[in-house]
Amino acid sequence: MHRGSTGIALEPHPDRLLPSDPAERSIARRLYDSVRDLPLISPHGHVDPALLAQDTPFGDPAGLLVTPDHYVTRLLHAHGVPLHELGLRDRDGHTAAPREVWRAFCSHWRFFLGTASRQWLEGELHDVLGVTAHPSAATADALFDELTERLAKPGFRPRELYESFNIAVLATTDDPADDLRHHRALADDPSWRGRVVPTFRPDRYLDATHPGWPAALDRLAEASDVDTGSYRGTIAALEQRREFFRRHGATTTDHSAPDARMEFLPEAEASRLFDAVRSGEAGPGDGRLLSRHLLGEMARMSSEDGMVLALHTGVDRNHHEPTFSRYGRDTGHDIPLRAEFTQALKPMLRRFGTHPVFQTVLFTLDETVFSRELAPLAGFYPTVYLGAPWWFLDAPRAMRRFRDAVTETAGFHRSAGFIDDTRSFCSIPARHDTARRVDAAYLAGLVAEHVLTEDDAQEVLRDLTDRQPRKAFRL
């Protein structure tokens, strides 16, 4: 029995997440071993490109592992720790010192038992940062000092970690008005051998229901040097920025929308609607209709420039208004909604579902659509890829449910492989490692049930790790 309890040695088991049945486990081990050292493909995430461009050392463990990770802060908040005690700054400027934040985290460590975050954190702490004791109230201060010291040493700078993580390609998520200076700096730096590509994320320019939309268009005009006062101008500006992103390596546009519905209005109607909304004279529903049309325009542009349209829908953002107004966005209270794709995507797929250039990757937080809608869609439309289990579903059991739900209809080769979707740079290897273990375990189960041969499973696992993400995101 491998032991090691909270407060005692932190020593992730080499067979963690592999099946417990001995025969299945040995298959799973062999499968996992065949991909564990493959380079990491990260087609979607939220790492700040400045991190690598500037290669600034990380400071302290709270700023590295706690404050920026809303998976972590949200659960601590649920256990009664106010967000400003976790390093977030409220509108009055209150916040806590890193050491205090770290203590709060360590003393609540046991409440992460069973969560995906715990898996990742154990991987980061042990494998990346060399920690060998579990966080606890008792170990907090010593750990804080140990880690702060270690993070200042050679080997822990972002670029060094990028190399040691064996990342083949890392996609960031960027505002269309961004000048991509950090991506350009990296590209221009002869000492940099990695690949960091931007992703075109135009939500704020497409969301015509938002009060800040006209101001966003002004920024877009400035960035593109194209007048966004008209519908045609705005479309031209967006096309120009896509082109700019593409020139700097982008292959994907990424979209968070309330739902997957797109509209395809005649240009004259779109133009009238645009003018009405832009001038604040639109009727109810007009903003939403225009937003859906603009998302449809993104699909149309994808069918022309070949950028992959990644669609993340179905979240009620900033659910708790008092927290939003005190701490701002991305503070842990985005809550999923029921999803629907079959009817929502019909107008778009009618146009682009079998288009030779267009391609989309669909993500959901509502598991019910996996078997009901997404697998049937991806099992017919050559342009549709199944996005990995995302956000709250980016966890071992949920990943297994995803494979269970989609594979029998769509096989393995319509899925887009793993995305880490993280802001937390040091969690990248642990997240990919988790995904590889889970896929290896899943395939080992099929081998043990004689549904696949082990050779087939090995080929599939390699495809899921490497071929599928490259293909789905055109990397």
CB nearer to a second copy: pick between 72 and 186: 72
- Does the protein bind a second copy through residue 320 (CB under 8 A)? yes
CA atoms within 13 A on the CB side of 355: 21
User: Which region, judged by CB under 8 A, interacts with a second copy, from 78-86, 173-181, 182-190, 221-229?
Assistant: 78-86
CB nearer to a second copy: pick between 12 and 328: 12
Cα 297 versus chain centre, distance = 23
Q: Which of 433, 419, 467 is nearest to 170 (CA)?
A: 419
CB nearer to a second copy: pick between 1 and 268: 1
- Does the protein bind a second copy through residue 419 (CB under 8 A)? no
Residues of this chain, 383-402, that bind a second copy according to CB under 8 A: 384, 392-393, 395-398, 401
First to last CA, the chain: 43
Q: Which of 205, 178, 166, 156 is nearest to 49 (CA)?
A: 178
CB count, 10 Å around CB of 54?
12
Helix count (H) and strand count (E) of the chain? 22, 9
Q: How many residues bind a second copy (CB under 8 A)?
A: 99
Structure tokens at 77: 């908040």
User: By the 8 A CB rule, do 27 and 18 touch?
Assistant: no
Shortest CB 171 distance to a second copy, Å: 25
Residues of this chain, 365-384, that bind a second copy according to CB under 8 A: 365-368, 371-373, 375-382, 384
- Please, which residues have CB within 8 angstroms of residue 188's CB and are 6 or more apart in sequence? none
> Among all chains, which residue has been given the structure tokens 């593409």?
246
326 in helix, strand or coil? Answer: helix
Backbone angles phi, psi at 248, to 5 degrees: -100, 25
Residues of this chain, 196-235, that bind a second copy according to CB under 8 A: none
- Does the protein bind a second copy through residue 404 (CB under 8 A)? yes
- Does the protein bind a second copy through residue 337 (CB under 8 A)? yes
Shortest CB 65 distance to a second copy, Å: 17
Residues of this chain, 99-118, that bind a second copy according to CB under 8 A: 110-116
Q: What share of the chain is helix, strand, coil (3-state, %, to 5)?
A: 50, 10, 40
316 in helix, strand or coil? Answer: strand
- Does the protein bind a second copy through residue 75 (CB under 8 A)? yes
CB count, 10 Å around CB of 294?
25
Residues of this chain, 338-367, that bind a second copy according to CB under 8 A: 338, 340, 342-343, 346, 349-350, 353-354, 365-367
> Among all chains, which residue has been given the structure tokens 């293909």?
471
CB nearer to a second copy: pick between 132 and 368: 368
CB nearer to a second copy: pick between 200 and 370: 370
> Among all chains, which residue has been given the structure tokens 């989609």?
406
β-sheet bridge partners, residue 157: none
- Does the protein bind a second copy through residue 78 (CB under 8 A)? yes
User: By the 8 A CB rule, do 209 and 280 touch?
Assistant: no
Shortest CB 21 distance to a second copy, Å: 6
> Beta 196-197 vs 315-316: how paired, if at all?
unpaired
User: By the 8 A CB rule, do 122 and 11 touch?
Assistant: no
- Does the protein bind a second copy through residue 409 (CB under 8 A)? yes
Of 288, 414, 431, 432, the residue at the interface with a second copy (CB under 8 A) is: 414
Find the length of the chain.
Answer: 475
| CA 215 vs CA 201, 221, 245: distances in Å | 17, 10, 21
CB nearer to a second copy: pick between 99 and 401: 401
CB nearer to a second copy: pick between 80 and 211: 80
- Does the protein bind a second copy through residue 306 (CB under 8 A)? no
- Does the protein bind a second copy through residue 80 (CB under 8 A)? yes
Shortest CB 25 distance to a second copy, Å: 9
CB nearer to a second copy: pick between 49 and 332: 332
User: Which region, judged by CB under 8 A, interacts with a second copy, from 182-190, 298-306, 425-433, 440-448?
Assistant: 440-448
- Please, which residues have CB within 8 angstroms of residue 469's CB and are 6 or more apart in sequence? 41, 43, 416, 417, 418, 419, 475
User: Which region, judged by CB under 8 A, interacts with a second copy, from 85-93, 182-190, 228-236, 330-338?
Assistant: 330-338
CB nearer to a second copy: pick between 28 and 426: 28
- Does the protein bind a second copy through residue 92 (CB under 8 A)? no
Structure tokens at 70: 């809303």
- Does the protein bind a second copy through residue 474 (CB under 8 A)? no
Q: What angle do CA 333, 250, 292 make, to 5 degrees?
A: 55
Residues of this chain, 20-39, that bind a second copy according to CB under 8 A: 20-24
- Does the protein bind a second copy through residue 191 (CB under 8 A)? no
- Does the protein bind a second copy through residue 472 (CB under 8 A)? no
CB nearer to a second copy: pick between 423 and 471: 471
User: Which region, judged by CB under 8 A, interacts with a second copy, from 12-20, 40-48, 56-64, 229-237?
Assistant: 12-20
